[in-house]
C-alpha cells in the first residue's frame, strides 16, 4: 500500500540538525468515516520524556500503535532515528515493508500495554528472556542472565520462577516493563500503564517509570496521572479529536494552558 509522499524524507530537516528519536509527520488514520488521527506532527528528542494527555477517544493510544506500526496510517509516516518505520522509500514514495522487516524494526521500540500481555504459560524469567532469544540477539543463557538483571532493576528479583497468575497487577506490569527493556529499545511507549491497576498498586509502577526517565530513556507515555506528568515529563502533549491541540513544558500546558479545550479538560481532572 502506498503512503503519502512528502517533499522531505524522514530525518531530513533543512534548518534543524538536532538528533531526533521519533518523528511523526502528517499522520492520518481513519476507520470507515471515523478519523482517529487527523494530521498529527510530533518530534521527540533522544532522552526526552513526552506525556500525552487527552480525553478518551482522542487518538492517544492509536498514535502509539501507529508509532510501533501495530496500526498503519493511511497518510503520513513515522520514523525512528531517521529511519521510516514499516515502510521504505521506492521511486519517491513510501512502500510497506515485509512482515519480517517490520518485526525487526519493531524490536527497537518497547511497548508496555494497559493489560500487561504476559505469556501465562511462561515464568517471569522466561517472559522477559523470550524476545532476545526469538529475535536471535542472545542465546537463552545470556537472555536469562539479562532478564535476571532487569527483574532486579524493577524490584522483582525474587519472582523469577513465578508465573504471571501468581503476581499482583503491579508486579505483572513491572515484568512487562522489564520485558520491554530486554531488547534495549531506542524508545519505550507506555499506553496508560496504570489504568488496569488497583489504586494502591499504581505507585510501584510509576516509580519504575520515574527511574527510567531519570536514566535518560526516551519515553512516550499516555496517562491520566496528571501529577505524574508534572513530575517526570519534559514535554506534555494534549490531544483531542485526533489532533495535537497544545504542547509544551508541564508548567506551560498544565499551569497555563492556552487552548480552551485543554483548559476545559484540566478543569475536570485536576
- Could you report the per-residue pLDDT of 110-128, keeping only the tens digit for each? 999 999 999 999 999 999 9
Does the pLDDT of residue 270 top 90, yes or no?
no
What pLDDT was estimated at residue 26?
A: 97
CB neighbour list of residue 173: distance below 8 Å, 6 or more residues apart? 112, 116, 193, 194, 196, 197, 205
b/e for 176-201, b at 16 or more Cβ within 10 A?
bbbbbbbbebbbbbbbbbbeebeeeb
Per-residue DSSP letters for the chain?
-EE---SS-TT--SS--S--SEEEEEEEEEETTEEEEEEEEEEE-TT-EEEEE--TTSSHHHHHHHHTTSS--SEEEEEETTEESSEEEETTEEEEPPHHHHHHHHTTEEEE-TT----TTS-HHHHHHHHHHHTTSS-HHHHHHHHHHHHHHTT-GGGTT--GGGS-HHHHHHHHHHHHHTT--SEEEEESTTTTS-HHHHHHHHHHHHHHHHTT--EEEE-S-HHHHHHH-SEEEEEETTEEEEEE-HIIIIIS--SHHHHHHHHHH-
Percent of the residues in the chain that have a pLDDT greater than 70, as a whole number? 93
Measured from the Cβ of residue 165, the count of other Cβ atoms closer than 10 Å reads 8
Computed over every residue of the chain, the mean pLDDT equals 91
CA-CA distance, 248 to 196, in Å (whole number)?
A: 28
Structural contact between residues 209 and 193, judged by C-beta atoms closer than 8 angstroms = yes
Of the candidates 172, 212, 180, the one whose C-alpha atom is nearest the C-alpha of residue 49 is: 212
> Could you read off the pLDDT of 46-58 as tens digits, one per residue?
999 999 999 999 9
What is the DSSP pairing of strand 87-90 with strand 219-222?
Answer: unpaired
pLDDT for position 19: 84
Please report which confidence band the pLDDT of residue 1 belongs to, taking 50, 70 and 90 as the band edges.
very low
- Model pLDDT, residue 192: 95
Look at residue 17 in the predicted model and tell me its pLDDT: 59
pLDDT of residue 144: 97
- Residue 180: band (very low, low, confident or very high) from pLDDT cuts 50, 70, 90: very high
Looking at residue 14, what is its pLDDT? 39
Share of the chain above pLDDT 90, in %: 82
224-244 pLDDT, tens digit per residue, is: 999 999 999 999 999 999 999
Rounded to an integer, what distance in angstroms lies between the CA atom of residue 18 and that of residue 15?
9
pLDDT digits (tens, 9 = 90+) for 59-108: 999 999 999 999 999 999 899 998 999 888 888 877 889 988 988 898 99
pLDDT band at residue 9 under the 50/70/90 scheme: low
| Global pTM value | 0.91
pLDDT at 6 over 80: no
Amino acid at each position: 500500500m502506498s503512503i503519502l509522499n512528502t517533499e522531505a524524507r524522514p530525518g531530513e530537516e533543512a534548518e534543524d540538525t538536532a538528533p531526533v528519536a521519533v518523528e511523526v509527520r502528517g499522520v492520518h488514520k481513519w476507520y470507515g468515516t471515523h478519523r482517529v488521527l487527523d494530521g498529527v506532527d510530533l518530534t521527540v528528542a533522544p532522552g526526552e520524556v513526552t506525556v500525552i494527555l487527552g480525553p478518551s477517544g482522542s487518538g492517544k493510544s492509536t498514535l502509539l500503535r501507529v508509532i510501533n506500526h501495530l496500526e498503519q496510517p493511511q497518510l503520513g509516516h513515522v520514523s525512528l532515528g531517521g529511519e521510516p518505520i514499516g515502510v521504505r522509500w521506492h521511486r519517491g514514495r513510501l512502500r510497506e515493508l515485509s512482515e519480517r522487516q517490520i518485526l525487526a524494526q519493531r524490536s527497537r521500540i518497547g511497548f508496555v500495554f494497559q493489560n500487561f500481555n504476559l505469556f501465562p504459560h511462561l515464568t517471569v524469567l522466561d517472559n522477559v528472556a523470550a524476545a532476545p532469544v526469538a529475535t536471535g540477539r542472545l542465546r537463552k543463557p545470556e537472555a536469562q542472565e539479562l532478564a535476571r538483571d532487569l527483574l532486579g532493576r524493577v524490584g522483582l528479583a525474587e519472582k523469577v520462577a513465578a508465573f504471571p497468575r501468581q503476581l499482583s497487577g503491579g508486579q505483572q506490569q513491572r515484568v512487562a516493563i522489564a520485558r520491554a527493556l530486554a531488547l534495549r529499545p531506542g524508545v519505550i511507549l507506555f499506553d496508560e500503564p496504570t489504568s488496569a491497576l488497583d489504586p494502591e498498586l499504581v505507585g510501584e509502577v510509576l516509580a519504575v517509570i520515574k527511574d527510567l526517565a531519570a536514566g535518560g530513556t526516551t519515553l512516550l507515555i499516555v496517562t491520566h496521572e496528571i501529577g505524574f506528568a508534572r513530575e517526570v515529563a519534559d514535554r506534555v502533549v494534549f490531544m483531542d479529536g485526533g489532533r495535537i491541540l497544545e504542547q509544551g513544558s508541564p508548567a506551560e500546558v498544565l499551569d497555563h494552558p492556552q487552548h480552551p479545550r485543554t483548559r476545559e479538560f484540566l478543569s475536570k481532572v485536576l
